[in-house]
Amino acid sequence: MSTTEILILLALAGTVAWWLDAIRTKEVARQAGQRACETAGVEFLDDTVVLTRLRLRRDSRGQLRIYREYRFDFASDGTRRYDGNMSLLGKRVKGIHLEPYRVV
């Protein structure tokens, strides 16, 4: 096997690992959004979250982690959509914010 082939395989393995991590983290975010909506007594719409920001940040121990922000929609009365946002550092939810909504 040549050096070029080894580098291609390593790049492919890194890409697959990145993709699998992104899928797992999105599922963590989806579940956190769903729980936040249940706690607030609102409906989590479309059963999904959308990645809006991706960057590197350090955690409280100084280790470099991937910081992601997600957006999701929810409804309180079934007629109007509201925005929700959340941030994750690694796979830990750092915060969830629900746009002010009308209580029914």
Per-residue pLDDT 10s for the chain (104 aa) are: 899 999 999 999 999 999 999 999 999 999 999 999 999 999 999 999 999 999 999 999 999 999 999 999 999 988 899 999 999 999 999 999 999 998 87
Model pTM greater than 0.75? Answer: yes
Q: 103 in helix, strand or coil?
A: coil
pLDDT of residue 79: 86
Written as one string, the DSSP assignment of 36-94 is HHHHHT-EE-TT--EEEEEEEEE-TTS-EEEEEEEEEEEESSSS--EEEEEEEETTEEE
pLDDT of residue 78: 82
